[in-house]
Structure 1
C-alpha cells in the first residue's frame, strides 16, 4: 500500500512539472505573437491580397496570424520533445516556403514582422541541426541512426557538417576495430592477421564511401575532405602493417608474408574503384617504404646465408630449374619440351630462394630491387675470388671465411657458377623492366614522389664486370703459378742457354718442352671448359683469350726465363737466340691456332724479340753474328701440326687400350619432391699423362695445370728438366 501511494505521489509531481512546462510555453508563445503582430495593418486587406495573388490557403496565416504562429511553434516544440525531427523539419520547410511567397508579394507583412518570423524559423533550424549533430556524434550511435541524422542535417543545409560527422564516425569505428584486432594479434596466425587487417581497413572505407553517396547522390564527386580522410586511414593501416611486419619478421619467410599481404591490400583497394573511389596511388605511396625495408632485410638475410654456405661449399655444380620471377614454362622448356636446367654450386643455389618479387614492381621499386640484387651478386662474386688460391700469398686476416677451390675443376665450376648467376640476374632485370613498363599506365603522380625507373643496363654492366673480373682473376692465378713454376725450374739450372741442345736434330728444331706442354694443357683446358660451361663457346673463348693473352704477356716480360750465361760460347749464344725466337713464334702460333691472337699479344712478342736481339748484339758486338731466324715461323707451325697429330694418335691409342681416363659429366636426377641435382665429376689426370711426343726433340717436364692450381709453384721447384 505504501508503494502504491509513493507511485501516486511521483505521478502527481510529474503532472505538476508538465503543467508548469505548458504554462511556460504558452507565455513564450504569447510574447512571440504580440511581438510579431503589434503593427497597425488591416487583417481583411491582407487576407484579400493573399487570396487573389498567391491563390493558397493563406487564411491560416493571415486571418489568425497569432493563432497560426502559436500553433506552428507548439507543433515544433511537441515534435522536438518526441524526437520526431523529420516531422519538425517538414514543418520548417513548409513555413519557409510560405515566407518566401509572402516576401515576393511585397507589402503583405511589415519588414519587422517578416524578419522576426524568419529569425524564429532560423533559430529552430539551428536547434534541430545541433540536436541531430549531437545524436550523430554520440559514441553509441549505430550506422542506420547515423545515416538518418545525417540526411536530415543535409536537408537543413549543412552538408559539410554532415560529411565531417560521417568521417568522424567511420574513423572512430576503424580505430576501435584495429585496436581490437591488435589486442588479439598474438592469438592469430601471421597471414590471418594481415588478411583481417586489410579487410577491416578497406571494408570501413567502403562503408563510408557508400554512406557518402547516399548523402550526396550518385553523380556527386567525393569531397576533398573525404579523400583526405581516406588517405589518412591508409596511412594508419600502413602503420599497423609496418609494425607487424617488423615485429614478426622471420628471415626465411618475412618477405613472402609482406608480399602476400601487399597483394591482398591491392586487391581490396581495387574493389573500391567500383564505387568510383581510386586510392591505389595513395596505397602505393604509403606502403612502398615498408616493402623496401622488408626487401632489404631479406637481401641482408641472403647475404649472411651465402657467407655461411661459401664456408662449406665444395664447388661442385648442381642443376636446378630457375624459380621465382623468371619462372616461365615456355622459356624453361627447350627443344622437344624437355626442361632446361641451370648450373650452380650449393652457395650459388641460395639465389634460387629469392621470393617472387614481381609484385614489388607495382610499387615502382624496380630501382631498389635491381640495386639490392646487384650489390648482393657483386659481393658474392668477390667472395668467390677469395676461394681462388693466390700464388705465393697467405689468407689475409679478417677476410671472408670461404672453402678454397684447390683443384682446377673446382675453379672452373666456380666460374661457371658465377656466369649462371649473371644470366639469372639479366633475366630478373628484364622481367622487372617489363613489369614496370606494363604498369606505366598506373604511375603515381609526380606530387606523390614516384621514383623514375632506370633501365637495367646500368646494373647489368656492373654484374657483368664483376664476373669478367673473376674470370681474369682465375686466369691471372693460373699464369702466376705457371710463370712461378717455370722460373723455379729455370733458376735451378745455370741459365736458359745451359738447358738447350739442338744438336740432336738440327734439321727439325722444336719449341721448348714447357711450351709444348702448355699447348697440350690449353687444348685440354678448352675441352674441359666447354664441358663445365655447358657448351657456352663464347664464354670459353673469352676465358681462354684472357688466359693466353696473360700467359704470353707474362712470359715475354719475365727476364728470368730468357737469361743466358755470359760466359757461354758464341755457338751456344746463337742456339740461345734461335731457341727464344722459335719459342716466341710458337706462342704466337698457339694463340693463332686457338683463335686467341690479339694486338697485345703481338706487341708483347715483338717487344721481346727486340730486347733479345739487343742483348745478343750487346754480347757479340757484331751485327753479322745475328743468326738467320726466318725459318722460326715455319717450324713453329710445323710443331703445332705435329703436336695435334700426336694428340690424335694418343686418343686413338687410348680408345684401343681403354687405359686412359677421360672427363665425363654424370647427371643424377633427384626424386621429384626434392631439388634437382647432379654431380659433376672430372678427372684432370690426363693433364699429367705422358704426351707421346717424339722424345728425340722434346725434353720431359712434369708440369700440369692441375698442379699449378693446387700449388704456389714450389711443388715444381725440385722437378727440374730432363734433357734427352
Structure 2
C-alpha cells in the first residue's frame, strides 16, 4: 500500500511539473467529460494492481458525492452570494444574464424591503409573482432542482413572516376599522382563511371587552340603564363583526356557522351579566315591571341583528325566561298577600275607588263600586297587565293567565270564608291566603261579596287581560292574514280563562244560596221548618183553613224581595247578575224539597196519607213560588220544571190513596188570586176591599167542602 501511495505522489508531482508547459484547461479536459471512467483512467495512467485500483475508484466516487453535497449546502446557505458569483462567472464568460437570473437575484431583497415597510398589498403581489415563477420553472425545467428548492423555501419563509405580521396587527387593540379588515383580508389571501376569520371575531371581542372596563353596575341607577349600556356595547360589536365577516368572507357556510356560534356565545355571556346585575334582584322582589324593562331593552338591541341574518332573540328569551318566571310568580304572590291583608279588615261595603268618583274617573274600571279588598285586587291586576309585554314573546302569556286565575280563585275562597256558617268548609280551601277574614254579617255585606267577585270575573279582569291581545298584535301589524289567524287562535284561550273565572264565582254563589236556603229550612237547633207533617196533618184537624202560603215560603218571598232591593242598588247596569242570583237561590230551596227523601217518604208512605187539604196547601205553596218568581222575572225553565215535577209527585202520592186530585183541587185562577194577594200583603201593599175579602186579610177562608164544590161544578 505504501508503494501505491508513493507511486501516486510521484505521478501527481510529475503531472504538476508537466502543467507548467501546458494549459490547465487541457489537463482537466478528461475529467469534464460526461463519459469519464475513473477505473479506465487509472489503468491507463498507472501500473496499480486490480485491488488497489478498485480501492482508489471507491475513494474517488465517495469524494465526488461528498463534493456534490457540500456544493448543494453551500448554494442553499449562501443563495444571494451564489447568484452574485454566478453573475460574476457569467461576466467572465462574456454571456448575457437572463431575466429569470436577474429576478432571482433581486426577489429576496425586494420582498424583505416590502415586509419591513409593511407594504402588504405589494408584498402579496410579489409573493404571487414568485409562486407563478416557481410554477413556470417547474413546468419549463428552467431551474435546476437545487436552485428551485431554495427559491421555494425563500418564498415560504417570507409568506409566513407576512402572515405573522398580519396576525399580530389584527390582535392589537389599536387596530380598528379599515386597518383590521385589511389585515384580515390579506391573511385570507395568504391562504389561511379560518385563522383569519377567528382573528377577526376575536378582535371585535377584545375591543368590546376593553370598552366594558368602564361600565360598572354600581354606576347606574337601575337595571334598565345598565342593560341598555351593556347591550349597546355587545350587540354593536356583534353587528360590526357580522358586517366585516360578510364583506371579507361572504356567505360561505363554514364562516357563517362560526359567526353564529360566536355571536351566540357573546349573547349568552351578555344574558348572564344582565341576570346577575339587573334581573336577579328584580325577580326576587317580584319587580315584574323592572324585569320586563330589562328584557325589552335587551330584545330591542338584539332584534336589530336580524337584518344581518343573526336571529339571537330566542337565545335571550330562553336565558331570561327563568328570571321572568320568578318575577311573575313573586308578583302574583304579592297580589295575593296584599289582597288577603285587605280582606282581613274589609267592611264589605261597596264604594268607588279612593280619590276617585264616577265623574272624574279616568277609566271604565273606576265607574264601578267594589269593597276595599276588591279595589286593591283590581288595581294590582291592572298594573300587572301593564308589565306583561315580554311574557308574550316568551310564551308566558298562558302562564300569566293561569297564575292570575289561581290568585283570583284564592280571593274567592276568602270571600266564601267571609260568609257566616262557612267556617266548617275552611279546611277544604287550600292556599286561600290569610286565614283571618272579616265576616260579612248582613245580607247587604254578603251580596257585596258577590258584587266583588262577579264584577271582577265578568268585566274587570277580562278587560285587563285584553292587553295581552293588543300587545300580541304588534309583531304582525303589517300582515293582516297572520294577525287574524293569531287572534283566532288566542281568543279561545281567553274565553276558556273567563269561563273558569265565572266558574269560581259560581262556587261563591252556590255557597251563598245554600247557606241562605238552609237558614230558611232549618232552625238554629237543627229542626226543619219544612216537613211532611205540615201537609199530612191538615186534614181532620181543623174546621176551617185560612188559605195562605206556608210560612217558610212567605219568608222565602220576603228574603228574595229584600235581596232584590239590595241588588238593585249594587248591580246598577248589571241587573242580569242580580236576577240570576235570585233565580239560583229559589232553585236551591226548591231543589232541596225535591231531593229530601225523608220528606217524600212521609208524603208517600205515612204515617198518614196526604189528604185533600194537604194537597191543596202543597199545590198553593208551589204555585206561590212560581208566581213570585215570575213576578220578579227570575222564573227559570229549570225552576218551572222542578216545580212541575214536585207537584206531579205529590199528586201521584194523593192518587195512591184512591182519590182523584183533579176533583179536589180548585182551578188555577183561585190559586193565582191567593198568591197575588199574599205577595201584595207581604210586600206592604195591601189590596183594596174586593168582594168577601177584608182589607186586613188578603185571603178568604175557604172550606174543603167549598173547594170540592167548585171543582165539581166546574167538572159538570
Tell me, yes or no, whether TM beats 0.5.
yes
Matching of residue 424 in structure 1 with residue 424 in structure 2: no
With 84-93 and 226-235 compared, the bigger mean Cα shift is at 84-93
For residues 262 and 576 of structure 2, the distance between their equivalents in structure 1, rounded to whole angstroms, comes to 60
Residues 607 and 645 from structure 1, CA distance in 2 versus in 1: closer, same or farther, beyond 3 angstroms? closer
> Is residue 277 of structure 2 the alignment partner of residue 244 of structure 1?
yes
Compared with structure 1, are the counterparts of its residues 34 and 301 closer, same or farther at alpha carbon in structure 2 (3 Å cutoff)? Answer: farther
Is 1:352 equivalent to 2:379 in the alignment? Answer: yes
Does 476-485 or 639-648 show the bigger shift? 639-648
Q: Kindly report which structure 2 residues correspond to 1:473-622, keeping only aligned pairs within 5 A, or say none.
A: 473-485=511-523, 496=534, 509-558=547-596, 574-598=612-636, 600-602=638-640, 604-605=642-643, 608-609=646-647, 612=650
CA spacing shift, 1:590–1:179, aligned 2, 3 Å: farther
| Partner of residue 158 from structure 2, selected from 120, 124, 128 | 124
Are residue 365 (structure 1) and residue 392 (structure 2) matched?
no
Specify every segment of 5 or more residues in structure 2 that has no aligned partner in the other structure, as ranges.
Answer: 1-73, 480-488, 689-693, 702-716
**Is the Cα contact below 8 Å between 2:521 and 2:530 reproduced in 1?**
no
How far the C-alpha of 1:216 sits from its partner, in A, is 4.0
More divergent stretch after superposition (303-312 vs 209-218):
209-218
Give SS of 2:345's match.
coil
The answer for the alignment partner of 2:28 in structure 1 is none
**8 A contact 2:187–2:196 mirrored in 1:** yes
- Post-superposition shift, 1:387? 1.9
Partner of 2:58: none
Equivalences for residues 13-28 of structure 1 within 5 A: none
Residue 72 of structure 1 aligns with which residue? Answer: 107
- Structure 2 contact 234–270 (Cα < 8 Å) conserved: yes
RMSD: 4.8
> TM-score normalised to the size of structure 2?
0.69
Residue 550 of structure 1 deviates from its aligned partner by 0.6
CA distance in 1, matches of 2:251, 2:511: 70
Q: Equivalent residue for 1:385? A: 416
* Residue 155 of structure 1 pairs with residue 189 of structure 2: yes
Matched, 1:636 2:684: no
Mapping 1:179-258, distance limit 5 Å? 181-182=215-216, 184-185=217-218, 188-216=221-249, 223-249=256-282, 254-258=287-291
Q: Are the structure 2 counterparts of residues 146 and 199 from structure 1 closer, same or farther at C-alpha, using a change threshold of 3 Å?
A: same
Separation in 2, partners of 1:567, 1:276 = 88
Check 1:497–1:203 CA distance in 2 against 1; reply closer, same or farther (3 A cut).
same
- Tell me, in whole angstroms, the C-alpha distance in 1 between the residues paired with 2:294 and 2:464: 22
**Distance (Å, rounded) in 1 between the aligned partners of 2:244 and 2:532:** 101
Deviation of residue 644 (structure 1)?
5.1
Question: Partner of 2:293 in structure 1?
Answer: 260
Contact 1:493–1:499 (CA under 8 A) maintained in structure 2: no
Q: 1:529, 1:567 → 2: CA distance?
A: 42
**What CA distance in whole angstroms lies between the structure 2 residues aligned with 1:628 and 1:164?**
106
Higher percent of residues as helix: 2
Quote the offset at 1:289 in angstroms: 3.7
SS in 2 for 1:347: helix
C-alpha distance 284-393 of structure 1, shift in aligned 2 (>3 A) = closer
User: Residues 631 and 470 (structure 1 numbering): CA distance in 2 closer, same or farther, change over 3 Å?
Assistant: same
Report if aligned partners of 1:578, 1:627 keep a CA contact under 8 Å in 2: no
Change (3 A) 1:625 1:31: closer
**Shift in Å, 1:126:** 2.5
Give a deviation string over 1:314-365, Cα, whole Å, max 9, x none: 22334459x9xxxxxxx9878xxxx862443332333422331134323333
**Once the two structures are superposed, what CA deviation does each residue of 1:101-142 show, in whole Å capped at 9, x if it has no partner?**
x36974555677556534532332223213322343357766
The residue that corresponds to 2:124 in the other structure is: 89
* Offset of residue 310 of structure 1: 2.1
More relative contact order, 1 or 2 (CA 8 Å, 6+ apart) = 1
Give, in angstroms, the shift of residue 256 of structure 1.
Answer: 0.9
Unaligned runs of 5+ in 1: 1-25, 48-58, 324-330, 444-451, 654-691, 700-724
Residue 300 (str. 1) matches residue 333 (str. 2): yes
Contact in 2 for aligned 1:557/1:608 (Cα 8 Å):
no
Q: Are 1:374 and 1:459, in contact at CA under 8 Å, matched by a contact in 2?
A: yes
Partners of 2:504 and 2:197 lie apart in 1 by 60
Q: 1:203 to 1:394 in 2, by over 3 A?
A: closer
- Measured after TM superposition, the shift of residue 37 of structure 1 is 12
Structure 1 contact 362–435 (Cα < 8 Å) conserved: no
The CA deviation at 1:629 is: 4.4
Structure-1-length-normalised TM-score: 0.68
Other-structure match for 1:459: 497
The alignment status of 1:30 with 2:78, answered yes or no, reads yes
Residue 206 of structure 1, CA deviation:
2.8
Query: What whole-Å deviation, never above 9, does each CA across 1:215-256 have from its counterpart, x for those lacking one?
Result: 347999972211221122111111122223453227777111
Question: Alignment partner of 2:493: what SS?
Answer: coil
Relative distance call for 1:613 and 1:189 in structure 2 (3 A) is closer
Contact (CA 8 Å) 1:381, 1:467: kept in 2 or not?
yes
Count of residue pairs brought into register by the alignment:
590
Alpha-carbon distance in structure 2 between the residues aligned to 1:265 and 1:486: 65
Quick one: distance in 2 between partners of 1:259 and 1:170?
29
Tell which structure's C-alpha radius of gyration is larger: 2
C-alpha deviation, 1:595, in angstroms: 4.2
